[in-house]
Chain A
Amino acid sequence: SQQGEEDPQALSIQEGENATMNCSYKTSINNLQWYRQNSGRGLVHLILIRSNEREKHSGRLRVTLDTSKKSSSLLITASRAADTASYFCGWNYGQNFVFGPGTRLSVLP
């Protein structure tokens, strides 16, 4: 499948804890992106990391990219209830764009 994988499929943590989600892809990429989706709504872009970057930060988000392993991880630090959402990684597949199956994150108050 061109979709790759994300794990875990679902993650439940307490407020204040850190959440880590992993993404694996199957092709060479120009960049990899992470998006958030709240309960069946549109996706919100979180962060883009280019193939020549290894780590990127944005607020409480930290993304790493290992092109040799074709994998990326998203770390959300000090999670909040408002972080409850589905998180998707996405990348180019030829001239198309592909999303992973996503991780459902639940942050419990």
Chain B
Amino acid sequence: KAGVTQTPRYLIKTRGQQVTLSCSPISGHRSVSWYQQTPGQGLQFLFEYFSETQRNKGNFPGRFSGRQFSNSRSEMNVSTLELGDSALYLCASSPGTYVQETQYFGPGTRLLVL
């Protein structure tokens, strides 16, 4: 099976812009989670989707949003970008119904906000 794919791999934006990142999970996986990784805060849980519904959300402002499509592909959107949004954004899919089960990560999208 193909692994988790994320597009784009690299992105440069300026403050105030918005960005949309895409994630295609492993075929058959219905749970998709998103994480933000920064040197200062480490890996932080953004949200998790299962069957097109957001089940869980981490402690991030409303500028961070996401959605999941019927084919389990997911997108996350960040509006009104701030310099502190520069990070590696990781998507993970899981075959089970719980975020606590084994997660399979994509290579990440590295976002730089100038």
Contact = CB atoms under 8 A, between A and B. Distances in A.
B100 interface: yes
B13 interface: no
Given A42-B105, A95-B55, A97-B33, A30 B100 contact: yes
A7 to B, nearest CB: 14
Nearest to A94: B56
Contacts of B45: 96-98
Contact of B42 (A33, A45, A95, A102): A102
Contacts of B67: none
Contacts of A100: 42
Contacts of A44: 105
A92 B99 contact: yes
A42 B55 contact: no
A72 to B, nearest CB: 15
A74 B47 CA distance: 27
Interface residues of A, number: 25
Interface of B: 4, 33, 35, 42-43, 45, 48, 55-56, 58, 88, 90, 92, 98-108, 110
Interface of A: 3, 30-31, 33, 35, 40-45, 48, 88, 90-92, 94-102
17 contacts: A33-B102, A40-B88, A41-B107, A42-B90, A45-B103, A45-B104, A91-B100, A92-B100, A95-B55, A96-B45, A96-B56, A96-B99, A97-B45, A98-B45, A99-B42, A99-B43, A102-B43
